[in-house]
Amino acid sequence: MHDDRNLVEARLERVLRERVRPAVHPVTTPLTVEIWSTPDEPVPVAEGLAAPTRPITPGTPWGTPWGTSWFKVTGTVPADWAGRTVEAVLDLGFTPRTPGFQCEGLVYRPDGTPVKGLHPRNSHVRVGSPVAGGEQVHWHIEAASNPDLDASGVPFRPTPMGDRATAGDAPQYVLGEMRLAVFDETVWNLVMDLEVLGELMAELPVDGARRWEILRAVGRALDAVDLQDVNGTAQQARSCLAEVLAVPAGPTAHRISAVGHAHIDSAWLWPLRETVRKVARTTSNMTALLEEEPEFVFTMSQAQQYAWIKEHRPEVWARVKKAVADGRFVPAGGMWVESDTNMPGSEAMARQFVHGKRFFLDEFGIENDEAWLPDTFGFAAGLPQIIRAAGSTRLLTQKISWSRTNSFPHHTFRWEGIDGSRVFTHFPPVDTYNCEMTGRQVAHAARNFKEKGAATRSLAPTGYGDGGGGTTREMVAKAARLRSLEGSAAVTWEAPADFFAKAEAEYPDPPVWVGELYLELHRATLTSQAGTKQGNRRSEHLLREAELWAATAAVRTGFPYPYEELDRIWKTVLLHQFHDILPGSSIAWVHREARATYQRVAAELGGIIDAAQRALAGEGTRSLVFNSAPHERSAVPAGGAATPVAAGGTVTPVPRADGGYLLDNGLLRVEIDGRGLVVSAYDIAADRESIAPGQAANLLQLHPDFPNQWDAWDVDAFYRNVGSDLTDVAELGVEGDAVRVERVFGKSRVIQLLSVPADAKRLDIDTEVDWHETERFLKLAFPLDVRADRYAAETQFGHVYRPTHQNTSWEWAKFEACNHRFVHLDEPGWGVAVVNDSTYGHDVTRAVRTGSGDAGTTTTVRASLLRAPRYPDPETDQGVHRFRHALVPGATVGDAVREGYRANLPERRVTGAAAEVAPLVTVDNDAVVVSAVKQADDRGGDLVVRLYEASGGRARAVVRADGFAADRAVLTDLLERRLADAERPGTADGGVVLALRPFQMVTLRLPRA
**β-bridge pairing 776-784 and 822-827:** unpaired
- Report how far residue 388's alpha carbon sits from residue 386's, in angstroms, rounded to the nearest whole number: 5
- Measured in residues, the chain has a length of 1009
Torsion sign (Cα): 308, 314, 316, 318? positive
5 burial via Cβ count (<10 Å: 0-12, 13-18, 19+): middle
Question: What count of other Cβ atoms lies within 10 Å of the Cβ of residue 236?
Answer: 15
Nearest CA-CA partner of 548 in 780, 276, 347, 792: 347
Closest by Cα among 906, 903, 907 to 624: 907
Cβ-proximal residues to 906 (8 Å cutoff; 6+ apart), any chain? none
Cα(772)–Cα(777) distance, integer angstroms: 12
Known catalytic residue: 989? no
Select which of 150, 375, 705, 877 is catalytic. 375
**Nearest residue to 739 via CA among 672, 680, 691, 681:** 672
Strand partners, 960: 922
Chain centroid to CA 957: 35
d(CA 112, CA 315): 8
Neighbours of 320 (CB within 10 A): 25
Calculated CA dihedral for residues 51, 56, 58, 60, nearest 10 degrees: -100
Residue 906, helix vs strand vs coil: coil
DSSP-derived secondary structure letter, 105: E
Phi and psi angles of residue 108, each rounded to the nearest 5 degrees, phi first:
-125, 150
Nearest to 696 by CA among 781, 787, 822: 781
CA-CA distance, 495 to 139, in Å (whole number)? 34
In terms of Cβ atoms closer than 10 Å to its own Cβ (0-12, 13-18, 19+), residue 749 is: middle
Nearest by Cα to 162 from 703, 530, 705, 529: 529
Q: Where are the alpha helices (DSSP H) in 846-982?
A: 893-904
Question: Max CA-CA distance within the chain?
Answer: 102
b/e per residue 954-993 (b: at least 16 CB within 10 A): ebebbbbbeebbbeebbbbbbbbeeeeeeeebebeeebbe
**340-370 CB burial, b ≥16 within 10 A, e <16:** bbbbbbbbbbbbbbbbbbbbbeebbebebbb
* Rg from Cα positions in the chain: 31
How far the first Cα of the chain sits from its last, in Å, is: 90
Q: Are the C-beta atoms of 378 and 814 separated by less than 8 Å?
A: no
Q: Specify whether the CB–CB gap between 639 and 627 falls below 8 A.
A: yes
Euclidean distance between CA atoms 229 and 497, whole angstroms = 47
Give yes or no for a contact between 437 and 258, defined as CB atoms under 8 angstroms apart: yes
Nearest-5° Cα angle at 528, 522 to 530:
150
d(CA 786, CA 187): 73
Q: Report how far residue 253's alpha carbon sits from residue 735's, in angstroms, rounded to the nearest whole number.
A: 73
Q: Which residues are catalytic?
A: 375
